[in-house]
Chains A and B, each alone.
Chain A
Amino acid sequence: MLFKLTLRNIRQSLRDYAIYFFTLIVGVSVFYLFNAIETQTSYLRVTADTRDMIKRLNQILAGTSVFVAVVLGLLIVYASRFLMKRRNREFALYLTLGMSKGGISLLLLCETLVIGAGSLFVGLLIGIGLSQISSSFVASLFEADMSKYHFTVSGGAIIKTLIYFGMMYFVVMFFNTVMIGKRKLIDLMNAGKRSEKLRAANPAVCAVMFLISAAALAFAYYFVGWRTRGLEPKDILIFIVIGCVSTYFLFRSVSGMLLRVFMSSKKLYFRGLNAFTFRQLSSKVGTMVFSLTLICLMLFVTICSLCGAFTIRNSMNENLEKCCPADYQIGMGVVMYNKSTKERVYQTIDAEAKLREAGIDPDKYFESSCICHMLCDTDYTASVYYGQHLDEVVKATGESKDIEYLGDAYGEMTENVISLSDYNALMKLFGLPGQSLADDEYFELCNIEQQTDLRNIPLEHGQEITVFGHKLKPKYDKCIEGTVELSSIPYNYGITVIPDSAADLDCTKEYILTANYNTDDKEKIAEYDDILTNDDLHENLIGDDEPEDGQIEKEYATVYRITRQMLAQANIGTKALVTFLGLYIGIVFLITCGAILALRSLSDCADSLSRYDMLRKIGADERDITGSLFIQTALFFAFPLILALIHSVFGMKFAFFFLDQLGTTSMLSSTLLTGGIVLLIFGGYFVITYLTSRVMIKNER
């Protein structure tokens, strides 16, 4: 009997429960999907390094799952309590018919069980289905070949999903029982009747509140967006708190003023059903200021994390292409210091010969190669480069604590120099156009955006420099974007390119051999990499050039090897991690926001059915009525989204300050992708809500 009643209840309130059920299913399948990544990745053929990264990634995802479970748990408790409240009169009926409170609790328990089991079953099915599709996506993220298609079902993920969601449903049951036990019959019976008290907000207070919170937001925006450099973690925390609090008060004041703003235009207010529409909307907004604040902040986090993740991913890919235009690079350099003469002695190194000595025949591996001499003139320092502009530059770099660090020391740092013919040879290898210089000209090479801005200052003023005793003037008033060292992110802080006539190759602090492999085959490249970056090789290369007498000591010795594959591999983990985290948190937050708004909209619609009926009785057009419903739903969904978008603009500006150092490129594609995901999920909830409520008010005829 109890079970029969349970099923009938669920079927009866399917309309109310549809969105709830839908959200549970999405939640379960997303949860499964991200926890099943571990199983999926085990089928991938990847290198040992990547395997390690995958392991770490899965650990992080598992940790995030706990957080996600808490968020989903709160959503489920909120939603079920909300749905319970709507059924108070039904419970009152049971009580008056003689059912005990225990009986009702048992009834609710059965309902939760049925819904829970149903949603878990359907959600897991969908999750398993989706994970088959997503496995190719996972493979592409790890840049691994999907050699064979595997039908994967992750038992671990299923068990984990069952445990986590079982716990959530248990909490729901607990809350329901407590709630029923506490309520008195009379309260339950009168639950539907209470007329909503309209909080008569004082417009003047609202206006002041609005101005203050808008000003506080603008203040926080300004510091976070434009004064980023000087911020400490403590400051950032303060601004986050300011942001949250002022978001709340902004919603509160707007909800109080909204109606008055509309009412101030009689023409607008008394046109068609506008008066009704605005009243409905403002009562809806007015009673859930806190929820709207939460939703707005969650949307903000979602947009930022999605957009940030995609931007990091894109710029890593683009950067690698731009900053690593060759397959292999080896740099060697030894500089001695003669104590008695107080002079630097640069050791001459033949990089190619060194390789041969180590048992590697360059011709076997390289299709093309070149050697670039990184020169050093101890008299050519940053203060020479910047000249009279040094102070200006130091000031520009430091609206911050960096001043001390850069201030004096910066001027004494030795600049890096290469000769034009080395530069042109390297560019030929990179497949880029070369340059030409007159005997009294130089140009500057740099690829870090912020650094480029600083380095442009003396160039714009035609600042002359002296290198190896030659006076040179800038050929261009801007830096040329480019690099000598291979890297995965822009890493060139500035290299001066001088004519061959001015270059002194005796002062070479590093010999850099850059090469392209003679193969495109992935496995062969991996093999080459192994050989050319072998650890034993390291010993052979640097050798034991210990100074012969006590007067000379080693000041500086370096050897480094970079391969394109190495840089790419190092990126994979970060890229996969940010992508997964961004998507995971983003999707869960989006469904949470969508579900809260949808539930609220639908229940309001159910409460207002008689109102729509009445509008029809006094002759309102069907089109006007659905139009009013559309405006209500759309504005209700748009309200938190708009503020979240504004937040995001500044949030992203803040994030980009840091991303810039990674060498952020265009963010158009990531913005579009983020917009697409938000539109798909959030917009999907909006469309479902609107269509469902339209059916609801039509049925009532």
Chain B
Amino acid sequence: MELLKIEHIEKYYGSRSSLTKAIDDISLKVESGEFTAIMGASGSGKTTLLNVISTIDGVTAGKIMLEDTDITALKGKELNKFRRDKLGFIFQDFNLLDTLTAYENIALALSIKKEPAAQIEERINEVAAQLEITDVLQKYPYQMSGGQKQRVASARAIVTSPKLILADEPTGALDSKSSKLLLERFGYLNKECGATILMVTHDSFTASYASRVIFIKDGKVFNELSRGDNTRKQFFDRIIDVVTLLGGDLSDAL
């Protein structure tokens, strides 16, 4: 089933005299239950793409449909409600509230939705088990490792059972071991729980965990790879080939 449909979106910055086309006519689709990665070098427009999908930023032209809603037409309160009910966010720098414990950080996502307090505990224990963070639930962010923080942030993102999970460079601030652990969890959430994940990254290793990779260059879709029956290693090699083709900065990020 088609969950997200992006049709000919454009995003321009600046004035007429110095126009920057951050996104220059991108169209793509994400099926329900897919794990998609968007790859691109710095300045390719991948973060802008994520921002417009997550309604943090608006588009200059085009349409973004999530299920049957055109999210580019939403305003004010509807936006907040949409974000709260349909989307889950995972950020590069975790964005956990440092004054709250892990448990409370996750609970906040539910209490904002005005979920009854009685159901909160049950839901949290469930996602904590899925992300293997049960033993750090009572800790504060500053008492946790980066990987743990990012898994707590992921738990917060999925605890509301969103339609779409958006991850912006989720491994950007993690060491390789933590990255691997987190991505394995993403895979688990995707396969076992049926979560739809859209992840932005410039790291080929991270992208190789996805089932599909979309490459972006200069605001346009450059290429697209599907994992198919490949092993992760084979998929990784194919990604590297494309990255080499893309050249430039991205090759540094191996």
Q: Establish whether residues B80 and A620, one from each chain, have CB atoms under 8 Å apart when the complex forms.
A: yes
Q: List residues of B (124-171) whose CB comes within 8 Å of A's CBs.
A: 140, 142, 156
A279 at the interface (CB under 8 A from B): yes
A555 at the interface (CB under 8 A from B): no
Nearest Cβ on chain B to A270's Cβ, whole angstroms: 4
Q: Establish whether residues A621 and B100, one from each chain, have CB atoms under 8 Å apart when the complex forms.
A: no
Contacts A275-B107, A275-B108, A614-B97 given; does A622 touch B80 at CB 8 Å: yes
Q: Establish whether residues B140 and A611, one from each chain, have CB atoms under 8 Å apart when the complex forms.
A: no
A271-312 contact mask (Cβ, 8 Å, vs B): 1 or 0? 111111001100100000000000000000000000000000
Residues of B within 8 A of A610 (CB): 95
A357 at the interface (CB under 8 A from B): no
Q: Establish whether residues A266 and B95, one from each chain, have CB atoms under 8 Å apart when the complex forms.
A: no
Contacts A195-B98, A618-B156, A619-B87 given; does A279 touch B104 at CB 8 Å: yes
Q: Which of A195, A198, A266, A619 contacts B83 (CB 8 A)?
A: A619
Contacts A275-B100, A275-B104 given; does A618 touch B111 at CB 8 Å: no
B73-104 contact mask (Cβ, 8 Å, vs A): 1 or 0? 00011001111110101010001011110001
Q: List residues of A (586-620) whose CB comes within 8 Å of B's CBs.
A: 610-611, 614-620
Q: Establish whether residues B111 and A619, one from each chain, have CB atoms under 8 Å apart when the complex forms.
A: no
Q: List residues of A (621-680) whose CB comes within 8 Å of B's CBs.
A: 621-622, 624
Nearest Cβ on chain B to A266's Cβ, whole angstroms: 5
Residues of B within 8 A of A618 (CB): 83-84, 89, 108-109, 112, 156
Q: Establish whether residues A614 and B95, one from each chain, have CB atoms under 8 Å apart when the complex forms.
A: yes
Q: Establish whether residues B95 and A271, one from each chain, have CB atoms under 8 Å apart when the complex forms.
A: no
Interface size class of B (residues with CB under 8 A): 20 to 34
Q: Establish whether residues A617 and B100, one from each chain, have CB atoms under 8 Å apart when the complex forms.
A: no
Binding site secondary structure of chain B: helix
A267 at the interface (CB under 8 A from B): yes
Q: Establish whether residues B156 and A270, one from each chain, have CB atoms under 8 Å apart when the complex forms.
A: no
B225 at the interface (CB under 8 A from A): no
Give complex CA distance A273, B97 in Å.
Answer: 12
Residue of B nearest to A265 (CB): B117
Nearest Cβ on chain A to B79's Cβ, whole angstroms: 9
Residues of B within 8 A of A266 (CB): 117-118, 120-121
Residues of A within 8 A of B121 (CB): 266
Nearest Cβ on chain B to A285's Cβ, whole angstroms: 13
B114 at the interface (CB under 8 A from A): yes
Q: Establish whether residues A276 and B56, one from each chain, have CB atoms under 8 Å apart when the complex forms.
A: no
B110 at the interface (CB under 8 A from A): yes
Give complex CA distance A59, B183 in Å.
Answer: 78
Contacts A275-B107, A275-B111, A619-B80 given; does A267 touch B97 at CB 8 Å: no
10 nearest A-B pairs in the assembled complex, by CB-CB distance: A619-B84, A619-B83, A279-B99, A270-B117, A195-B142, A267-B117, A614-B95, A270-B111, A620-B112, A275-B104
B residues near A (Cβ < 8 Å) are: 56, 76-77, 80-85, 87, 89, 91, 95, 97-100, 104, 107-114, 117-118, 120-121, 140, 142, 156
A195-B142, A617-B91, A621-B80 known, 12 other contacts, Cβ within 8 Å: A195-B98, A273-B112, A275-B108, A279-B100, A283-B99, A614-B97, A618-B84, A619-B87, A619-B112, A621-B81, A622-B80, A624-B112
What are 26 pairs between A and B in contact, CB < 8 Å? A195-B98, A196-B98, A196-B99, A198-B140, A266-B120, A270-B107, A270-B117, A272-B112, A275-B111, A276-B97, A279-B97, A279-B100, A611-B99, A614-B95, A617-B89, A617-B91, A618-B83, A618-B89, A618-B108, A618-B156, A619-B80, A619-B83, A619-B113, A621-B80, A622-B77, A622-B80
